[in-house]
Amino acid sequence: MTVAESIANWSFLLIAALLVDLALGGRRLLGRLPGPDHLLYGLVAAIATRLDRPGRGEGTKMARGFLLILILAPALAGLGHMVDRVAFDGRTGSLLALVLLVLTIGQRAVWDLTRAIGKALADGTRRADENRFGAARWALERLVLRFTDGLVVNAALLMIGGFTLLLPFRLIAVAVSTGAPSGLLRPKGAFHRVAVILHEIIAFPGTLIAGLIVATAQFFAPHGSFRTFRGFLPRKGPYLLSRALPMGALAYGLGLNFKSDTEMRDDAALWFGPADGRARLGPADIRRCQLVAIAATLIMFLLLIALLAGALHVSR
């Protein structure tokens, strides 16, 4: 299989998976199945509890975190290679790859979550001010970061190395998430240090593409601004670039502020966004960001179609 044919195949599978996810994901048929991240999270969290215990030295913790990846990543790469071999070899293999990719993308679930929180806020279900504003900020963070990590970064890695690369990366991403389930800061402690370094390097191309897409998409929402590109500037603080870059594009473009750490640690600035940004977000802000998410997904969809068309033209 040539490079052009491989890109065409993966582009077609990604287009199909995105459409199936939007139609049947969330709480619908396929959304009820556990995805790779869900399965890996339980495994990694259980192992991390045993390996990352208090009282051990920093070097020991970092070595144990590296050992976790060193043992599990090759096994997942082998599993991914098996999926790659059958992905375009008959209907059964293609269906298996499609379902696995749908569960990995997971866009519909976060769309449904954001809409439900927006509806609850509009109906006045959440009345405590900080709880209400915090729920809105958390929902929008999930919306942007799931687009980045679930769709764009995964698509970029799938194009480069298929499931052979994608599944080990999901392990690394889950290892980071066990230390920082939400927020924009790097997880504390040496145990996650190797996972963070690997994650930020591997995810960078997809993160940059996602940031550019979000920056472009926010012009489809009311009051979008060219300040969105300030979100690409380096900033002080122990931020995860894979989270800070797309969130910066959204925050500066729409004039919003987010908590850099939802657990309110004391080792970094609490707020992330422009100095004049608003942190008291409500249903109107959720609707604006939903427009951004729809536009960003449409842009990504069109990019995949263009990539498919280009690859088919070259492979002729």
Dist. CA 167–CA 60, nearest whole Å? 26
Dist. CA 98–CA 17, nearest whole Å? 6
Look at the block and give the residue holding tokens 């599993």: 79
Which band of pLDDT confidence, cut at 50, 70 and 90, is reported for residue 142? very high
- Within a 10 A sphere around the Cβ of 23, how many other Cβ atoms? 13
Dist. CA 148–CA 153, nearest whole Å? 6
Dist. CA 290–CA 277, nearest whole Å? 18
Dist. CA 238–CA 8, nearest whole Å? 38
Across the chain, the runs of DSSP E, i.e. the strands, are 258-259, 271-272
CB 172 within 8 A of CB 198: yes
For the chain, percent of residues with pLDDT exceeding 70: 95
Residue type (1 letter), 4: A
Cα dihedral sign, 156-159-164-165? negative
| Higher-pLDDT residue of 169, 2 | 169
Which band of pLDDT confidence, cut at 50, 70 and 90, is reported for residue 108? very high
Dist. CA 193–CA 239, nearest whole Å? 13
Query: Mean of the pLDDT values across residues 236-265?
Result: 83
- Within a 10 A sphere around the Cβ of 157, how many other Cβ atoms? 22
Flag whether the pTM goes above 0.85.
Answer: yes
Query: Mean of the pLDDT values across residues 175-200?
Result: 87
Each residue's pLDDT tens digit, 6-29: 999 999 999 999 999 998 887 777
Distance of CA 235 to the CA centre of its chain: 21
Supply 242's token pair: 């894979």
Query: Mean of the pLDDT values across residues 42-53?
Result: 84
Q: What angle do CA 231, 233, 234 make, to 5 degrees?
A: 120
CB 286 within 8 A of CB 136: yes
Is the pLDDT score of 266 beyond 60?
no
What pLDDT, on the 0 to 100 scale, is given for residue 50? 82
Cβ burial 251-266 (10 Å sphere, 16+ → b, else e): bbbbbbbbbbbbeeee
Q: What angle do CA 227, 232, 237 make, to 5 degrees?
A: 115
Supply 310's token pair: 């280009």
What pLDDT, on the 0 to 100 scale, is given for residue 51? 79
